[in-house]
Amino acid sequence: MCNKIKMGSIPYSNPIFEKLSKDSIKLLKSMLSYDSKFRITAQDALDDIWIVKFTHKIEFEPKGFAESLGNLHQFNSTINFQRAALSFIAKRLTKKDIEDKLRNIFKMIDVNNDGQLSKEELIEGYKMITGDEEIAKIQVEHIMENIDVNMNNTVDYNGII
């Protein structure tokens, strides 16, 4: 198909085009015209009836735009502040502080107290954080792929601390 497009010979009778509307095929033909004299411009393509039918114009509102830029700037400032605060906190925590916090979180999630987190325990722990079981399952799958080296669907306390 790509070679035919390069040669300017597109078989519009191909089954791939059967479900396309006449307007969409007309647009394709005008955009893919081999002779540049007959090929439409990008603006003409945007103004084509088929494109116009399925899109809506967004009106530019200077007041709304300025407000959006202000929000973006404020968001960026907030992110920078959060990064600085996290960096400050991280530099103040000792290795022991971090290990203690991780141990406490691990114990909280380790419902059966066997020193290992099962896939189910991790999902429940993530559900407490995210409030969404699907997101929790996706996160746990990612964790298991990267941490569960012995492939037994558990994470050992010593394996993460």
CB 148 within 8 A of CB 155: yes
70-92: per-residue pLDDT in tens? 777 777 777 777 888 878 777 77
- Phi, psi angles (nearest 5°) of residue 73: -65, -45
Q: What is the domain count for the chain?
A: 3
Measure the CA–CA gap between 46 and 58, rounded to whole angstroms.
13
Provide the pairing of β-strand 116-118 with 154-156: antiparallel
Please check whether residue 156 lies inside any domain of the structure.
yes
Greater confidence (1 vs 152) lies with: 152
What integer pLDDT is reported at residue 132 of this predicted model?
A: 86
Instruction: Quickly state the pLDDT bin for 8 (edges 50, 70, 90).
Output: low
Provide the whole-model pTM.
0.41
Whether 128 shows a pLDDT value over 80: the answer reads yes
Domain end residue (candidates: 69, 92, 115): 92
Classified as helix, coil or strand, 8 is coil
Query: Are 80 and 139 contained in the same domain?
Result: no
In a domain, 42, yes or no: yes
Measured from the Cβ of residue 90, the count of other Cβ atoms closer than 10 Å reads 9
pLDDT at 44: 92
Statement to judge: residues 68 and 27 lie in one domain = no
What is the CB neighbour count within 10 angstroms for residue 44? Answer: 13
Please tell me whether residues 64 and 49 are part of one structural domain: no
Residue 14 within any structural domain of the chain:
no
For residue 117, being part of any structural domain is answered with yes
Tell me which residue range forms the domain holding 68.
59-92
Do 66 and 126 lie in one domain? The reply is no
| CATH code of residue 122 | 1.10.238.10
Considering the domain architecture, whether residues 42 and 30 belong to the same structural domain is answered as yes
pLDDT in tens, 149-159: 777 888 876 65
**Which one, of 56, 48, 55, lies nearest residue 24 by Cα?**
48
The contacts of residue 26 (CB under 8 Å, 6+ apart) are 50
> Does residue 143 share a domain with residue 114?
yes
Q: Which of 46, 74, 92 is the last residue of a domain?
A: 92
CA gap 87, 81 in Å, rounded: 10
> Do 75 and 123 belong to one domain?
no
Residues 6+ apart with CB under 8 A from 41: none
